Amino acid sequence: MSIAGDISEHVYLQNKESFIDISQNHWLLSLDPVVLGVWSQKEKYISAINTNSHHRIYFSDKKSGLENIEKDKVAIIDLEFFDKIEENNGVLFLLKAKKSGIYHIPAFKTFLLFFKFYKKPKLSFDQFKCLVASHSYPRRVRVISFREGDYYNIFPMDLLGDISQSGRFVFGLRHSNHALAKIIETKRIVVSEFSSSYKNIVYQLGKHHVSGPLSMDALPFKTLLTEKFNFFIPEWVESYKEINIVKTINLGSHMLLWGEPVHAKTLKPPSAHLFHIPFLLYMHQKARGYDYVMA
């Protein structure tokens, strides 16, 4: 789906001491276990997260408050502290999911959909709920580029976040990704923004992040070179950031990469971007008359 304006969904973190809107400051970074990153700069919130062992994240289809959140929620996740990254002007808290609940559509329809379309030997209903809950806020898709000598890779990601107020970028990269070991070794990566009109091409790139990239001659588009790293990027991207990786943390199925942008360039005006949402959230949005354009 593509979104040109503001996202209507909101996300809130609650513990014994606080109720915080984290819509713009949370990112899904691992799927097994589900780990979410929450960034905070305010000392009172940092203290509240540090001193509480139990946290709950509410996903709502609208701006809400503590008094209405139970009514407005579409999903919840109960979490515990996993790790944190401390910077001079804030902290990224990593919270691991313990259990979840999803309320996008009636429960019997959720069961029917799971058993008909999603049930797999390695995916339980509880795991399914947790994955759906963690995706109940639109996740922007970006294009990642890497290059070392004759090797290159270009692939899409949605488990990442731009922490612009801190000058940092966070990525959750699957261990099976063909480029991960090389990225960790060289400590370099490039992230690009693109228009949702290139959705089909981007999803084709996603098929090769495990098996290895296509040859340059086989790419269905022309490429440019970034100014600092000389990495290949599609010629149609809107902008890019060249990033040095300064820290890594093993989250389970994914590796967290903590990066510092060292160069950025805008190539085209911004447009509607591509976002991922689960089918259950799409059904919920449709029932209430959503405004998003399906890409």
pLDDT at 5: 59
Host domain of residue 114 = 7-137
Both ends of the chain: CA-CA distance in Å? 4
270/145 same-domain check: yes
127/143 same-domain check: no
Do residues 184 and 255 lie in contact, with contact meaning Cβ atoms separated by under 8 Å? Answer: yes
Tell me the pLDDT of the chain averaged across its residues.
Answer: 91
Q: What are phi and psi of 118, to 5 degrees?
A: -115, -20
Task: Give percent above pLDDT 70 in the chain.
Answer: 95
pLDDT at 28: 98
Among 117-121, 157-161, 181-185, the least confident range: 117-121
Q: Which residue from 272, 29, 19, 277 is spatially nearest to 163, judged by alpha carbons? A: 29
235/143 same-domain check: yes
pLDDT at 44: 85
Q: Which residue from 185, 182, 189, 209 is spatially nearest to 145, judged by alpha carbons? A: 189
235/267 same-domain check: yes
132/169 same-domain check: no
153/73 same-domain check: no
Structure tokens belonging to residue 258: 């903590």
pLDDT at 293: 66
Q: Which residue from 292, 13, 248, 280 is spatially nearest to 131, judged by alpha carbons? A: 280
In a domain, 120, yes or no: yes
* Average pLDDT value for residue range 12-39: 95
Rounded Cα distance between 38 and 25, Å, is 6
33/106 same-domain check: yes
pLDDT at 157: 94
Q: pLDDT per residue over 172-182, tens digit each?
A: 999 998 899 99
Number of domains in the chain: 2
132/155 same-domain check: no
pLDDT of 1 over the 60 cut:
no
Q: pLDDT per residue over 72-110, tens digit each?
A: 999 999 999 999 999 999 999 999 999 999 999 999 999
Helix, strand or coil, per DSSP, at residue 278: coil
In a domain, 14, yes or no: yes
* HSE (side-chain half, CA atoms, 13 Å) at 96: 14
- Other beta carbons within 10 angstroms of residue 112's beta carbon come to 12
What is the CATH classification number for the domain harbouring 76?
2.30.110.10
Helix, strand or coil, per DSSP, at residue 53: coil
In a domain, 286, yes or no: no
pLDDT of 211 over the 70 cut:
no
pLDDT at 289: 77
Q: Which residue from 212, 189, 207 is spatially nearest to 258, judged by alpha carbons? A: 189
131/13 same-domain check: yes
Helix, strand or coil, per DSSP, at residue 14: strand
* Average pLDDT value for residue range 262-269: 97
- Other beta carbons within 10 angstroms of residue 268's beta carbon come to 12
Task: Give percent above pLDDT 90 in the chain.
Answer: 68
Q: How many residues does the chain have?
A: 295
Q: 49-81 burial string, b = 16+ CB within 10 Å, else e?
A: beeeeebbbbbbbeebeeeebeebbbbbbebee
122/40 same-domain check: yes
Q: Which residue from 183, 186, 187 is spatially nearest to 175, judged by alpha carbons? A: 183
Q: pLDDT per residue over 30-67, tens digit each?
A: 999 999 999 999 888 888 888 888 999 999 998 999 99
In a domain, 281, yes or no: no
Rounded Cα distance between 86 and 78, Å, is 23
